[in-house]
Amino acid sequence: MKDQLGRLIQIRKPPQRIICLVPSLSELLVDLGLGEFLVGITKFCVHPHNLRTEKTVVGGTKTIHKHKIAALNPDFILCNKEENTIDIVKTCDDLAPVYVSDINSFEDLYVFLSHLGALFNIQEKTASFILDIKSKREAFRRKTADLPERKVAYLIWKNPLMVAGRDNFINVLLHELNLKNIFEVNKGRYPQIENAELKSAELVFLSSEPFPFTEQHIQEFQNFTDAKISCVDGEYFSWYGSRLLKAFDYFEKLLKSLN
């Protein structure tokens, strides 16, 4: 099998000792019934809430402790192109087969889930998961089909001020809400901007992660724009695993609050 970067993965039987360096995918593995095989995670793997007390924390998403990973004797390590660095992937390659995910669309997610199904012999579970996401997505689209398109800026960091641009899952989900990301054209994945550039937005979203924006930041940005500014749950916009099953209910409530 090849991973989503086209790298050959040689695995002869379903892995029994998994290390996951991607928070959203650690939650997904647990919800797919693979939690008992998960031995190592990052300090950012906060869902389910008890995961970090039950599994070994081997570092973060950008820095890892190689000796901790080696001590766990993994037979499979799950990484992500955006979350983890090239050096991390190279380090892990020395220890176990490494699958690098690259999820920037729903289609990418469906491919990844199909790969998990084949790797762990849980094809029925992953197929059911895909159908559930498609069903919730279609139901949401029917409810929001008549909403007018509005221009939005999605802030992810404060100093320097950074936003979601194009070619990322946040931008994909903004489109699902019928929102036009004003920074998706020729701006890169997470461009740095100036406060004055928010002026053209009708909506400004302050994400709860990776920078922990809160209600106290709203007035600060209100000085630069007449847009409606809202704090949003970043996990529902950027976690492309199990959280998607709850995301569309959250999006429906969010849109109602904006209207």
The CATH architecture annotation of domain 18-106 reads: 3-Layer(aba) Sandwich (3.40)
> CATH 3.40.50.1980 region(s) of the chain?
18-106, 147-258
Q: What is the chain's mean pLDDT, rounded?
A: 96
Q: Say what percent of the chain tops pLDDT 90.
A: 96
Virtual torsion, Cα 22, 189, 205, 85, nearest 10 deg: 20
What is the predicted pLDDT for the residue at 43? 97
Q: Is the pLDDT of residue 186 over 90?
A: no
> Please, what CATH class does the domain formed by 147-258 belong to?
alpha beta
Q: Is the pLDDT of residue 187 over 80?
A: no
Q: Is the pLDDT of residue 78 over 90?
A: yes
The whole-model pTM stands at 0.94
Q: Are 70 and 95 in contact (CB under 8 A)?
A: yes
Nearest to 85 by CA among 104, 70, 98: 98
Q: Say what percent of the chain tops pLDDT 70.
A: 100
Structure tokens at 191: 């461009």
215 vs 213: CA distance, rounded Å: 7
Structure tokens at 133: 């996401």
Q: What is the pLDDT of residues 189-245, one digit of tens each?
A: 999 999 999 999 999 999 999 999 999 999 999 999 999 999 999 999 999 999 999
115 vs 102: CA distance, rounded Å: 12
What average pLDDT does this structure show over 147-172?
Answer: 96
Nearest to 76 by CA among 33, 37, 32: 37
Structure tokens at 114: 């199909």
55 vs 42: CA distance, rounded Å: 9
